Amino acid sequence: MTTQLTHLEALEAEAIHIIREVAAEFEKPVMLFSGGKDSAVMLRLAEKAFWPARIPFPVMHVDTGHNFDEVYDYRDRRVAELGIQLVVASVQDSIDQGRVVEETGPRASRNRLQTVTLLDAIAEHGFDAVFGGGRRDEEKARAKERVFSFRDDFGQWDPKNQRPELWNLYNGKHRKGEHIRVFPLSNWTELDIWQYVADDDVELPSIYYAHRRKVFRRDGMLLAVTPYITLMDGEEPEELQVRFRTVGDASCTGAVESSAATVEQVIQEVAASRLTERGATRADDRISEAGMEDRKREGYF
Amino acid sequence: MAPLGSRATGGSTEMLRFATAGSVDDGKSTLIGRLLLETKQIFEDQLEAVERTSRDKGFDYTNLALLTDGLRAEREQGITIDVAYRYFATPRRKFIIADTPGHVQYTRNMVTGASTADLALVLIDARKGVLEQSRRHAVIASLLQVKHLVLCVNKMDLVDFDEGRYDEICAEFVDFAAKLDIDDLTFIPISALLGDNVVQHSHNTPWYEGPTLLHHLEHVYIGSDRNLIDARFPVQYVIRPMSHEHHDYRGYAGEVASGIFRPGDEVVVLPTGFSTTIAGIDEYGGPIPEAFPPMSVSIRLADDLDVSRGDMLCRPNNMPTVTQDVDAMICWFSERPLRVGGTYLIKHTTRTARVRVQQLNYRLDVNTLHRDESHGSLAMNDMGRIGLRAAVPLFVDEYRRNRRTGSFILVDEATFETVGAGMVLGSAP
Ligand SMILES: Nc1nc2c(ncn2[C@@H]2O[C@H](COP(=O)(O)OP(=O)(O)O)[C@@H](O)[C@H]2O)c(=O)[nH]1
């Protein structure tokens, strides 16, 4: 028998170690669960970390209200299967309570508003550790993020003043009101995620696989026709075979034309892709080169 | 549910973690950019952004280094400030690069990057030769027990790919490295800018018969670097389902630090010293026949003992040193100097405890290896040998023998900063 792990096994072992460390050291952890593929894998790893016991913390969905039905269905099904508690932090509530102001115009998106909703929910519930599915390969600002990433009592990230992180020893010390964002998938790439989904039969919302959908073109992306987005002059809806590479606010998450209907076909496509998943399909990340860094400083995922 | 004991199959490649170091402008960012580009990890939108920025700034050529400058402050200052992690893969291996900036004041970044690295890659500018900083990087790699060191002599194009110059640099480095604890030292003449010997063999260096950098990274043997002898299992978390189906289940979850554990093995629980046998080892879904590092598993014991987080399982005839007095090398990270007599929190394996710094034996000059015994404290980025007294016993091994049970961090009790990283030399007299 070999005593060498494959890279996916090593990544899995590392993530489970991180998740258990949080369960052991924090009083009130929560795991963000959007129904996206990264959070689906992260939740699966949490399931494995505590087996045969239940996951000893709730999951939280920061819900823009602008999600695809397939994603809501998937979220509720997983939560029921695992017998865990779901906390929904609603951007609509934040708008109704006047905490944030809805953007207007055809390019309005609720993406940025999520930060306030997220931070309010963390404060309201007193969460001291918040698991996120962020990966360092996603984006340049994320490449420097720690696995245990300290947030001050305004929820802010200070990239220039991060705690050094050595070996597998994580420093989760914090004061009341501060919290730690924890990223068990830090060292995974998009391809790792998909290979894991394939190897481990991780169920994903159906919109990750090719399906026919009414879409229109904007800024070189394919956006879904939904009630949450207004078409501008010259934008023509058409029905195409598409799939999504990330799952976010329906108003700013683009689809790609694809015939990949199975996970194996998706892996082939990802491996051959010439565009980053965010560059290709996330209007929110195109704001500026420093867009992600700014949002992360404010307390974004 | 996966079948019992089965392992993931699709990505049956190994993982290699390496740290890169070099002085500013030696070409580290360019080299990483080239590795990513030539292994097709760079996407069109990323490359276009870099080409656009290079044009805007009036550069003659595309500055691949821009691929890796993450934070705005770094782009503004044109330097890399913090450790960044990057990823690429070939059919043979998946690579994790800890890209550590090389400024004088950033020893802490190199130490951080090296702590998880299987291999360290140090760049030298062929025109400048072995600098003080190159020596320091090698010293840190050796102190951190990075087993494989690759010295890339870069910018060979600027010295006309001269074999004599290359040999001279290698000889000087070999001389110095003899004083260090490095198992495997490899030299490669490259041009990061033009690509010579990075992924493709260069026609410009017919005198060089060794592998290209990528070939070396893909093939260097790391299988024997882990400690598979000394069985150590720090208990991280106790799994108790509290369900009808698994009423009596009690699993001790954790990452195998070293050695191999199998059901039926006799084990001793530290600190109590009780012995028992392993009833079973579980992963998700059921029992597995053995556990080795770095697997995260859950161990069931044959007897009902009081075992909790911070305890350690080991074998009766092979135990770590149980001690409250630790002799260690430390690298200091904080702007507030190390205080002899001061107390800190130590995080060692899954134990957290208070420690007092009893003494500072010497400060180590990482450029010359000189030991300065007259120093009263350690400042940021200093390294030195200290004696610690812990409030509770720790279960330690020498770092040279065991990276997991020989390493610790110190945390400031007031600020909660991580202020130091330590490597155990033994139990203090
Ligand atoms: N001629 C030549 N120039 C190089 C080579 N590698 C890097 N450079 C240049 O050296 C400068 C510093 O490189 P950079 O990668 O930013 O260095 P870093 O500070 O170590 O990351 C840049 O202008 C590079 O284009 C090389 O192999 N040959």
ipTM for the assembly: 0.91
Q: Which of residues 66-125 of A touch B (CB under 8 A)?
A: none
Report the amino acid identity of residue B192. A
Cis ω before B271 (30° cut-off from 0): yes
User: What is the value of pTM for the model shown?
Assistant: 0.92
Which of B82, B96, B292 lies closest to A187 in CB terms?
B96
| Cβ <8 Å between A274 and B71 | no
For ligand 1, atom 28, the nearest C-alpha belongs to B155
Going by pLDDT thresholds of 50, 70 and 90, the confidence category of residue A280 is low
Query: Is ligand 1 within 6 A of the CB of residue B24?
Result: yes
Return the SS3 of B321.
Answer: strand
- Please tell me the distance between residue B27's alpha carbon and the centre of ligand 1 in angstroms: 4
Give the β-pairing of B14-21 and B93-99.
Answer: parallel
Cα–Cα distances in Å, from A227 out to A61, A72, A281? 21, 16, 19
Chain A residues within 8 A of B14 when measuring between CB atoms: 4, 6-7
Could you tell me the pLDDT band of residue A278, with boundaries at 50, 70 and 90? low
Structure confidence at residue A286 as a pLDDT band (50, 70, 90): very low
The pick from B28, B30, B83, B131 for probing ligand 1's pocket by mutation, whose C-beta has the most ligand atoms within 8 angstroms, reads: B30
Q: What is the pLDDT of residue A267?
A: 87
Per-residue pLDDT, A277 = 59
d(CA A34, CA A40): 8
From first CA to last CA, the distance across chain A in angstroms is 41
- A290 CB near a chain B CB, below 8 Å? yes
For A16, nearest residue in chain B (alpha carbons): B296
Minimal Cα–Cα distance from B367 to chain A, Å? 22
Query: CB–CB of A187 and B87 under 8 A?
Result: yes
Going by C-beta distance under 8 Å and a sequence separation of 6 or more, which residues neighbour residue B424? Answer: B326, B327, B328, B396, B397, B398, B399, B405, B406, B407, B408
pLDDT in 10s for each residue of chain B, 429 residues:
233 233 333 456 899 999 998 888 889 989 998 998 888 766 666 677 777 777 777 776 677 776 665 555 555 555 556 788 999 988 899 999 998 876 666 788 899 999 999 999 999 999 999 988 888 889 999 999 999 999 999 999 999 999 999 999 999 999 999 989 888 999 999 999 999 999 999 999 999 999 999 999 999 999 888 999 999 999 999 999 988 888 889 999 999 999 999 999 999 999 999 999 999 999 998 999 999 999 999 999 999 999 999 999 999 999 999 999 999 999 999 999 999 999 999 999 999 999 999 999 999 998 888 999 988 899 999 999 999 999 999 999 999 999 999 999 999 999 999 999 999 999 877
CA of B349: which chain A residue's CA is closest? A169
Distances (CA, A) of A251 to A36, A204, A217: 15, 20, 12
CA-only gyration radius of chain B, Å:
24
Selected for mutation to probe chain A from B12, B14, B57, B87 (highest A CB count within 10 Å) is B87
Is the distance from the beta carbon of residue B157 to the nearest atom of ligand 1 less than 6 Å? yes
Handedness of CA B416, B421, B427, B429 (dihedral sign): negative
pLDDT at A234 over 90: no
Identify whether the C-beta of residue A151 lies closer than 8 Å to the C-beta of residue A179: yes
Say yes or no for a CB contact (<8 Å) between B70 and A141.
Answer: yes
CB proximity list for A12: less than 8 A, separation 6 or greater: A45, A48, A196, B8, B296
Q: Testing the interface with B: which of A18, A140, A278 to mutate, by most B Cβ within 10 A?
A: A140
Judged by CB atoms closer than 8 Å, whether chains meet at A6 and B350 is answered as no
A166/B111 Cβ within 8 A: yes
What pLDDT is attached to residue B212? 97
Confidence of residue A105 (pLDDT cuts 50, 70, 90): confident
Nearest CA in chain A to B52: A289
CB-CB contact of A167 with B116 (8 Å): yes
